Amino acid sequence: MPTKILVTGGLGYIGSHTVVELQNAGYEIVIVDDLSNSNINVLDGIEKITSVRPIFEQINCTNLDALKNVFEKYVGIKGIIHFAASKAVGESIEKPLLYYRNNLVSLINLLDLMPAYEVEGFVFSSSATVYGQPPIENLPVTENSPIQLAQSPYANTKQIAEEIVHDAVAARMPIKTILLRYFNPIGAHKSAEIGELPLGIPQNLLPYLVQVAVGIRPELSVYGNDYNTPDGSCIRDYIDVIYLAKAHVSAIERIISNKQKNKLECFNLGTGKGISVLEMITAFENATGAKIPYKIVGRRTGDIEQIWADSTLANDLLGWHAETPLEDTLKSAYAWAKKINIKNN
């Protein structure tokens, strides 16, 4: 029988791409998602790509009883990949209690239930925001780089969540965990059947940029051109969402096959290359032929000046590499955006 994996937030952007990669690898998937930041139609996209429709339960992970029912109904879950969380930096500054409730209570509920249902494997969706703004001399960041003061409630929930997982393992709970610290996921599945579906005004660069490219929004706002970077705009490490998804397959396989050296491991997932906002605009225009009107506006609260990853540990221990050229990733994002725009018009 195929190994059964619970994926929370599995209809979201990263979650849906990970479900595709897990099903292609032969896993049986149970998705839990409350659809607060996702769309039920994503199930159709997953099925079109993999020819398998994953099990789906519409549940908020802060509801402990509802989660219990999932474990009772789908006996034999061997691992959990936990994506379900509120994730926008700007929104977290405006609604901090929402973020602390959603992101921490959901995690505690899952960890609380795992021993009762003999679920040993846990992969947690963390973030490069736990590093705060690293000193220039600490770039690129490794997993041993200092954890800096969180720049937003969202980032703080990721720091606290990692501490909760660490304490649970230290308390000798019978669980094996891997923390995956993402840098900036971009792109879409090459089939254009699934991709990023931000509700309302996008909070991240690329989804906003592609909406400008297809005419949904008139122009892109660049938040600051006076940072201490070569062109004055913020620098990030952008990783193709497909290869980010593949890292989760590698992580769950590492846990299930007992290859972990420790019961808690942590990996950075990035390309090792920093790209500025202005460089990304130029790269997108060159890759797609679309023109992106933009304006420089003031800095945005909570933004980090520059950060990029050292992913050597993931390369060596997970056997994982971010391989997709940036041009191909940008083309996939544009193809997805054009398809969605046609559907909505």
* Positions marked catalytic: 154
Q: Tell me which residue of 185, 281, 269 sits closest to 233, measured CA to CA.
A: 281
- C-alpha–C-alpha distance, residues 196 and 310, integer Å: 25
Give, as one character, the DSSP assignment of residue 289: -
Determine contact, residues 41/64, Cβ cutoff 8 Å.
no
- What is 120-179 written as a DSSP string? -EEEEEEEGGGG-S--GGGPSB-TTSPPPPPSSHHHHHHHHHHHHHHHHHHTT-S-EEEE
Q: Tell me which residue of 223, 87, 212 sits closest to 158, measured CA to CA.
A: 87
Determine contact, residues 8/33, Cβ cutoff 8 Å.
yes
User: Side-chain half-sphere of 278: how many Cα atoms within 13 Å?
Assistant: 14
Residue 324 in tokens: 């997709």
Q: Tell me which residue of 247, 273, 268, 263 sits closest to 312, measured CA to CA.
A: 268
Residue with tokens 């980010």: 244
Give, as one character, the DSSP assignment of residue 37: S
- C-alpha–C-alpha distance, residues 89 and 80, integer Å: 25
Residue 238's H or E segment, with its range, is: strand 238-240
List the strands of the sheet with 77-82, edge to edge: 55-58, 28-33, 4-8, 77-82, 121-127, 176-182, 264-269
- C-alpha–C-alpha distance, residues 266 and 94, integer Å: 30
Q: In angstroms, what is the C-alpha Rg of the chain?
A: 19
